[in-house]
Every structure is written in structure tokens, then in C-alpha cells.
Amino acid sequence: MNDLFAEKVTYKSPVYNVQAVPIEKIQANSYNPNAVAPPEMKLLYQSIKEDGYTMPIVCYYLFEIDRYEIVDGFHRYTVMKQHRDIYERENGMMPVVVIEKDISNRMASTIRHNRARGSHSIELMSSVVSELVQAGMSDAWILKNIGMDADELLRLKQITGLAALFKDREFSISSEP
């Protein structure tokens, strides 16, 4: 019990370490399947214009190139990139929290953030599933960390059309007529 309590005391959520990062040091990831329609982007711009940034973007720090890769918050980042008034008001700085995870877990984090908020692209989601399978993540890991059911995972695997997604999987043999 003391170990459990000690773990709770020592863990600190990333949001308690918000830092201002120059937007030029931030880059999009290649695996974000979330799409926002133009009316919602206009509303996001209006929200940031009126209320400022009320949530930091979530990034992973890439030490080797001294850049931050977005895990969640691409559209808030896009608003600053596309609107000079926001860029100037914020002095080109984005509020960022950093998470430290490997690529598979960063992809899972992106999907969890997106799914908690709304819709995303089926094609990009299929691509993410493909990358996770190719990285050696089990179906159980994907189901747990992406928050989908087995039928959805199967459909996304089928969409990609890659036989590799099903390699090393056991299937039942149908009975002959």
C-alpha cells in the first residue's frame, strides 16, 4: 500500500510543466488521422482570438534535431501558423507540454486524444494500425491503447489490404462441405 501511495505522490502530469516554445521549433507528426472541417477551424480561430490558448499542445521532444513533434494540438498549432494576428499576439510562442514515449505510444496518445473529441480519417487510422502492427504491437495492445473494439480493428486491417497485418495470427479452419 505504501508503494502505491508513493507512486501517486511522485507522478506529476505533464500539464504542470507547460512551457513556451517558439512555433518554428514545432512540427506536425505524420500519423494524425484527425480532420477538422472549415467551420470548426473558423470557430477554433475565433476561440483562440477571444480567449487565448487555454490548453497547451502535447509534444514529444526530438533531441537529435532539437524540435518538438506534435502528439495532440495540431489544429491549435495550425491556427497560429495561419493567422498573423495570433502569431504576433503570442510572440510566436506555443504553450507546450512534453510527454516521453516511444513512437508506438505517441501514436496511441494521438489517437486517444482524437477519439475522445470526435471524428478522424479512416484512411489515416488504417495507416496508423498498419504501422503499429508492423512495429510489433499485438491486437490486444492496439485494442487497449487505441480504444477500439476487435471488429473495428479487423475492418481497419482489411481496409489496408496488407496481408502482413494478419501474419502470425491464428485462424480457425472451416469445415469442408
Tell me the per-residue pLDDT of 28-65, one tens digit each, with 9 for 90 and over. Answer: 887 665 677 787 889 889 999 999 999 999 898 989 99
Residue type for 135, please? A
Distance CA 84, CA 77 (A): 12
Distance CA 25, CA 66 (A): 7
Which of 12-21, 75-84, 105-114, 156-165 is the most confident on average?
75-84
Closest of 111, 113, 102 to residue 129, by C-alpha: 111
Tell me the per-residue pLDDT of 140-161, one tens digit each, with 9 for 90 and over. Answer: 877 776 666 777 777 777 776 6
Tell me which residue has cell 537529435.
Answer: 64
